[in-house]
Structure 1
Amino acid sequence: MVRELADFERLVDEAIATPRQFHDALFGPAPAVYAFVVDDDPAAGTLAGFALYFLNFSTWLGVHGIYLEDLYVRPQFRGSGLGKRLLAALAAECVDKGYGRLEWWVLDWNTDALDFYRSQGAVPMDEWTVQRLTGAALANLAGQAQEEA
Structure 2
Amino acid sequence: MDHASAHRSESPAGSRIRFARPQDMSRLAELIHEHVAYEKSAPRPAGLAERLGPRLFAEGARLWVLLAETPDGTVAGYAACSEEFGFWDASPYLHMDCLYLAEEARGHGLGAALMGAVADLARERGLGHVEWQTPDWNEGAIRFYDRLDGAGGRAKRRYAWPV
Work out whether the TM-score is over 0.5. Answer: yes
Larger radius of gyration: 1
Residue matched to 1:72:
100
Residue matched to 2:14:
none
Q: Deviations over 1:8-45 (max 9, x none)?
A: 111142x2361111211111234232111012333xxx
Residue matched to 2:56:
26
- Residues 1:7 and 2:37 aligned together: yes
Q: Where does structure 1 lack aligned partners over 5 or more consecutive residues?
A: 139-149
Cα shift at 1:59? 2.2
CA RMSD of aligned residues (A): 1.6
Distance in 2 (alpha carbons) for counterparts of 1:129 and 1:8: 20
Other structure's SS at 1:7 match: helix
TM-score relative to the length of structure 1: 0.79
- Residues 1:35 and 2:83 aligned together: no
Cα shift at 1:51? 0.4
CA contact (8 A) 1:3 1:12 kept: no
- Residues 1:60 and 2:88 aligned together: yes
Distance in 2 (alpha carbons) for counterparts of 1:56 and 1:129: 18
CA contact (8 A) 1:54 1:66 kept: yes
- Residues 1:88 and 2:111 aligned together: no
Higher helix share: 1
- Residues 1:111 and 2:162 aligned together: no
Q: Deviations over 1:45-87 (max 9, x none)?
A: x311110111101223332111111101111110111011111
Q: Which moved more, 1:4-13 or 1:65-74?
A: 4-13
TM-score relative to the length of structure 2: 0.73
Distance in 2 (alpha carbons) for counterparts of 1:89 and 1:23: 21
Q: How many residues align?
A: 130
Identity of aligned residues (%): 25
Distance in 2 (alpha carbons) for counterparts of 1:110 and 1:92: 25
Other structure's SS at 2:146 match: helix
